[in-house]
Chain A
């Protein structure tokens, strides 16, 4: 493991961004090819790492592909990278989506150079978050993401884009401000910034932290805003709706997963005891997320906004899985994050196609498009079925794992009550997805949409990749659960479950 794979994965996209922004005279076409090259190589490397990853239970919890070198010795901060079973699938997801969004953005024609530069910088920062094992490094990558997203929404977005962009920035920075205070407090009570040390030194050290609960909540605030958790979710519908298609795909596909990842890695990993003490509160929030999120989704008439709201409900399942605190439930949460990434990524991508090709985003004004654009209709239907958790898709297996895991978890009292209420979310999901599909594709065909273009070859390609991923995980979930379990087991052991 001498070769610095992770550094390469993280910094290749930003290298591409530098090439794109500094080399003069590149044509738009060349810029697109450069961007796809600089996102494809990280994807290839992360697939390689995924295959090379040691899945045996004997090494569960060990960090693999680790890189460690001193960085700022004055405060004991290191350049410390590494992946375990928890982060590796998310790295794979990020590089996959990172490559696909370049394809999705192929038709962007305004300010191409800046656009791809920001997109690539965004990918670097998200990858950095998933790979960092040092809290300062983690925080730096966490913060870098804000600026590219701000520009992507406010320049290439639609609707109230400037309002949504600044709302996103203010929410995120408010959360990360609290997170920074939490990190500093953690640093002063333990003298360390290493996530791994803090997790491994076990409950003894964490018990010794006198104000563990406030620190836990300061850190949680940052993650909760990102996930998002009710009532901190209001930035999400605006940002998702007004972002350009690729921006929504990255946001829903990978960015909000940083919140769930942080919760498991930092909040539960470092403060298992506090997490257990306050699990009831967070489970209650999870149920609200699921049911309230789904209920609000039902009332949406805007195609893109509907998908955005459905994310809130789906992220509630992640929260439920995490704070049920059982091993299986947390594996389910990890799986749900991956699954939601590809399913909602696909839904936003095809929503973008529908909106682009028809010029209409109001569900009431669309109808019967299945006749006019059959390919898009089929893909959208598959994505929708996966989103409502139909067996055979990744959505099913993820949600079922969360439910079984949460129901059988014996760490938190009364968790089965929360779980049963949460199942309402599936019912509501079926309602809004089927209503959406009927309204957009399976009503009476409207004449004005005759001659609407179906997906072209490039669009078919990326849709097919998404669908393949959804089905592979749906049919053979072991491919992921094996990996995720090796990352979750040590954290679950901290809880004695």
Chain B
């Protein structure tokens, strides 16, 4: 059997085992991070060699290795690496279970990478559960009241979401008799559009799948778990959830809906409109509730719900665009990168700051601009990118998404989104204001390790690079998007 296409995942799996075993013997736990990072680096190397190859399916068509999958694999690997770097300051406080922490983070990564490559409802569900279960454990890692409560909520709601998703998949299977995306697409395309739209079983299956995946990407109204879980979880895990899990979710949604249900147009327009409505609700809800948050992690949680809404504008545009045009997909991928960079930078800065302050309240951030100007500048830059002001990546990402939507006749949604962006200015700038205008309430500098400095530098240069010369990334993103088959 040819194992080459899944070498990145295999490497991570081996690294996971090595980390768990080594944890028993070594005293200096910093080596666990080093080994994990080395494993990630090797896996990234393997993934890069797969880039640009012709698509190939493996394991009886359960997985596909195309540019789209490889793109997400590399992106997720980079994110995992940054998460582990950012965790250094944090996990050193966890006396025990450092090995398990690293292993679970890597396991979740394997699950998410397989999600991006899944072409069969079964493999998609299994890999989704693999990452979800790792996340349940990670959220509860602090073992204090809040963390445990968050974990329990996450397990209960996540379990329900999985059940709903599975039910949707089962209905789709019952209707088409297939689990492979390509075969489902064939069955659907052979039917006449009238019969198709009249078959309530399939439509219900689609709706349930949207609900199940919607949970994963924190789309309103399936977002109930987000604020509590984000607040209770260890901050690096929050970061991981908010960026990694969401990106993998969007990868799956794009592939499933585009490959299996992308045609005929009458069907794709239906789910396109569903995403448009979800997106409008998500943006508005996320942004308005975020205004009232006093805790920065909760604020970022609601902001992340709003950003899911913005990305869903792209999904809606994809549904409403005639097949053969891949610009909509590439805009989504660009947005995903831009969001990941800004959110990573924001959360890493929050990790460093709350390490010193032992608080996540926004009012305690007063005067950070005086005590740690560089850190405050980084957080400001990432918030500006989240608002979507030039010259940051966030601006061009929004511009692209809005362009795509306006081109598919969704001008109303663009106007909703644009007004939402203005609303969001208020709560993002509030943090900026507190940092730069408030009087410091603590003494001394805010220490940060070289690992965090390095990861912050990567994120910030990425934010500016994508905002000023997007061409570099655009080409990659277009290649990845155009390999999505239907």
Contacts and interface: CB of A to CB of B under 8 A. Distances in A.
Query: Do A and B actually bind?
Result: yes
Given A74-B327, A169-B425, A174-B422, A155 B436 contact: yes
Interface stretch (A136-144, A196-204, A292-300): A136-144
Given A177-B421, A184-B402, A188-B406, A166 B429 contact: yes
Interface in B371-429: 384, 389-391, 395-396, 399-400, 402-403, 406-407, 411, 414-415, 418-419, 421-422, 425-426, 429
Interface in A374-395: none
For chain B, the bracket of interface size reads 20 to 34
Interface in A169-227: 169-170, 173-174, 177-178, 180-181, 184-185, 187-188
A184 B400 contact: no
B391 A72 contact: no
A385 to B, nearest CB: 39
B470 interface: yes
B471 interface: yes
Interface in A131-151: 136, 139-141, 143-144, 146-147, 150-151
Contact of B437 (A155, A170, A184): A155
B422 A173 contact: yes
A177 B407 CA distance: 17
A459 interface: no
B399 A136 contact: yes
A211 B208 CA distance: 39
Given A144-B390, A154-B433, A162-B437, A181 B426 contact: no
B391 A185 contact: no
Given A143-B389, A162-B437, A181 B474 contact: no
Contact of B407 (A71, A155, A188): A188
A139 B390 CA distance: 9
Interface string B27-59: 000000000000000000000000000000000
A155 B421 CA distance: 24
A144 B474 CA distance: 23
Given A151-B436, A184-B406, A187-B403, A166 B390 contact: no
A147 B433 CA distance: 11
A75 interface: yes
A127 B414 CA distance: 29
Nearest to B406: A184
A154 B437 contact: yes
Given A155-B437, A184-B402, A170 B391 contact: no
Given A154-B437, A185-B411, A143 B395 contact: yes
A72 B425 contact: no
A58 interface: no
Contact of A147 (B389, B402, B407): B389
A402 to B, nearest CB: 34
Which residue of B330, B389, B414, B471 has the most chain A CB atoms within 10 A of its CB atom?
A: B389
A173 B425 contact: yes
A180 B390 CA distance: 13
A242 to B, nearest CB: 13
B153 to A, nearest CB: 35
B367 to A, nearest CB: 12
A185 B414 CA distance: 10
A150 B389 CA distance: 13
Interface residues of A, number: 31
A141 B426 CA distance: 21
Contact of A177 (B384, B391, B403, B418): B418
A165 B399 CA distance: 25
A72 B470 contact: yes
A264 B403 CA distance: 25
A73 interface: yes
B250 to A, nearest CB: 20
A173 B421 CA distance: 9
Interface string B322-335: 00000100100000
A146 B392 CA distance: 14
A185 B402 CA distance: 10
A188 B403 CA distance: 8
Nearest to A154: B437
Contacts of A180: 399, 402, 418
B204 to A, nearest CB: 35
A170 B421 contact: no
B332 to A, nearest CB: 14
Contacts of B415: 181
Nearest to B409: A188
Contacts of B471: 71-73
B418 A74 contact: no
B428 to A, nearest CB: 11
A177 B419 contact: yes
A187 B436 CA distance: 38
B403 A140 contact: no
B402 A143 contact: no
Interface string A74-91: 110000000000000000
B477 to A, nearest CB: 10
Contacts of A147: 384, 389
A74 B144 CA distance: 50
Given A154-B437, A181-B418, A144 B389 contact: yes
6 contacts: A72-B471, A144-B391, A170-B422, A173-B421, A174-B422, A181-B414
Given A71-B471, A146-B389, 20 more contacts: A72-B396, A72-B470, A72-B471, A136-B399, A147-B384, A150-B429, A154-B433, A154-B436, A154-B437, A155-B436, A155-B437, A166-B429, A166-B433, A169-B425, A170-B426, A177-B418, A180-B402, A181-B418, A184-B411, A184-B414
Interface of A: 71-75, 136, 139-141, 143-144, 146-147, 150-151, 154-155, 162, 166, 169-170, 173-174, 177-178, 180-181, 184-185, 187-188
Interface pairs A-B: 7 shortest CB-CB: A140-B390, A177-B418, A184-B406, A173-B422, A143-B390, A177-B422, A174-B422
